Amino acid sequence: MLDLKTIEKAAQRLQGVAHRTPFSYAPILSEMSGYEVYLKKENLQRTGAFKLRGAFNKIATLVEEGKRGGVVAASAGNHAQGVAFSAKYFQIEASIVMPESTPLTKVQGVKDLGAEVILHGSNYDEAYGYAVAYAQEHHKDFVHPFTDDEVMAGQGTVALEMLEEQRDLDAIVVPVGGGGLISGMGVAIKVINPNIKLIGIASEGASAMKNSFDHGEAESTQGVRTIADGIAVRDASPITLKHILKTVDQIKLVCEDEIAAAVLFLLEKQKLLVEGAGSVGIAALLHDKLDLPKGSKIGVVLSGGNIDVTMLSLIIEKGLVKSSRKMKLSVILVDKPGALMQFTELLTTVGANIVQIGYDRTSIDLAFGDAVVSVDLETKGVDHQAEIRTILGEHGFTFKELH
């Protein structure tokens, strides 16, 4: 049973193991959003995410019950590391099933924590199905990433820490994927202070829980596609939905560009490396998605900081475009000497810095005598980009923006 007592017991188990992560005021974000914002920095947690809390509490419970035969989990991310760390702590075996496409760095990270890694399937769902069968066949305990009371109780300790420091919050904003984090937190929050609004944030590319919340029953989506891989869940769980319907006041969606802009904002303005899933609450704040009065005192959970370097590069690129710091243009020029120089000098007059340029005179889509220039520009915001569009138009250039 998931209740405040089980969450408080989980907190006792986690003492000395999980970090009590900082929960601190964010002045720049507060000024930009119009709210009084405090950030719960679970990206600084051991193993880099809140998932350690639930995995450790579950495995600690199994050990207390005398079950030391080993555990199995399916994950390509933060849950895998949480289970591996916890199993090593209790000196029991752990087998983690990961999709065959899992990056080598993530596989090695789990192995470094002492777990056996089994690569199976082309996606999470196939890995999950195999992991459940493997646990049954080998008489091991399966540790689900969210549909488990002890896992949810461990995640709920995030709320205990936040409310011990800021009891008078008006709202708490939490990422939503499978719903384990917000379920555990919601049970604690609504007992301690039922006046606090609990707001979940999901990705538009993984909207199963949002759809389920709106319709009051668990639903699935045909697929998921999001840079917020930590909340990329296709099938909503009836178990977590039950708690969500009781405790959550709103679930909002953010798009990919908004998530990318939030990752970039946290990196630049808060000096925090936060993964896509951990940044969705900031995306909602920056793009005014919350139905709350301005001036409200809000706690936002940054749920994790484990992000692949390749993905980070992509996110930064998207974030720069979304925040009007980068502009990509395709411009038609007359293919004659000096035309390209005229174009680049025009950009110089408005202070646009060229970071990449390409010149094509052979495309079959071009009229004879024309060339197309693709150019990436560093820009200084919305007004600067408007100035660039205006001056190109005034000088007769035909162009389109690329995204």
Q: What is the CATH number of the domain that holds 103?
A: 3.40.50.1100
Q: Measured between alpha carbons, how far is 98 from 122 in angstroms, rounded to an integer?
A: 9
Domain range for residue 338?
Answer: 324-402
CB atoms within 10 A of CB 358: 10
pLDDT mean over 113-121 = 94
Residue 356: pLDDT over 90: yes
335 and 235, same domain (yes or no): no
21 and 60, same domain (yes or no): no
31 and 178, same domain (yes or no): yes
CATH number of the structural domain spanning residue 378: 3.30.70.260
Output the CA–CA distances (angstroms, integers) from residue 220 to 91, 208, 212, in the order listed: 37, 5, 8
Q: Which residues contact 292 (CB under 8 A, 6 or more apart)?
A: 35, 170, 171, 197, 199, 298
Among 295, 320, 345, give the residue marking a domain's end.
320
Q: Measured between alpha carbons, how far is 35 from 200 in angstroms, rounded to an integer?
A: 17
- Residues 90, 71 contacting (CB under 8 angstroms): no
398 and 300, same domain (yes or no): no
Contacts 24+ apart (CB under 8 A), 213-219: 213/241, 213/244, 213/245, 213/248, 213/251, 214/251, 216/245, 217/241
248 and 382, same domain (yes or no): no
pTM of the full predicted structure? 0.88
Residue 384: pLDDT over 90: yes
213 and 285, same domain (yes or no): yes
Strands 116-119 and 94-98 turn out to be parallel
Residue 76: pLDDT over 80: no
Each residue's pLDDT tens digit, 10-37: 999 999 999 999 999 999 999 999 999 9
Nearest Cα neighbor of 200 from 243, 138, 260, 142 is 243
12 and 107, same domain (yes or no): no
Which residues are registered as beta bridge partners of 400? 330
Each residue's pLDDT tens digit, 268-318: 999 999 999 999 999 999 999 999 999 999 999 999 999 888 888 888 888
Beta strands in 34-84 (DSSP E): 36-41, 71-74
161 and 296, same domain (yes or no): yes
Q: Measured between alpha carbons, how far is 381 from 163 in angstroms, rounded to an integer?
A: 38
pLDDT in the model for residue 157: 98
At 53, is the pLDDT very low, low, confident or very high (cuts 50, 70, 90)? very high
What is the 8-class DSSP label of residue 352? Answer: P
Q: Measured between alpha carbons, how far is 254 from 201 in angstroms, rounded to an integer?
A: 7
Q: Which residue has the higher pLDDT, 102 or 245?
A: 245
Q: Which of 45-49, 61-65, 332-336 has the lowest mean pLDDT?
A: 332-336
What is the 8-class DSSP label of residue 50? Answer: T
- Work out the percent of the chain whose per-residue pLDDT is above 70: 100
94 and 187, same domain (yes or no): no
pLDDT in the model for residue 365: 80
290 and 230, same domain (yes or no): yes
Output the CA–CA distances (angstroms, integers) from residue 234 to 226, 239, 244, 278, in the order listed: 11, 15, 17, 18
159 and 131, same domain (yes or no): no
Among 91, 126, 142, give the residue marking a domain's end.
142
Among 296, 320, 344, give the residue marking a domain's end.
320
122 and 205, same domain (yes or no): no
- Work out the percent of the chain whose per-residue pLDDT is above 90: 81
CB atoms within 10 A of CB 31: 10
The chain-wide mean pLDDT, for the chain, equals 94
Residue 87: pLDDT over 80: yes
- Residues 140, 165 contacting (CB under 8 angstroms): no
The count of domains in the chain is 3
What is the 8-class DSSP label of residue 179? Answer: S
Give me the active site residues, please.
51, 303
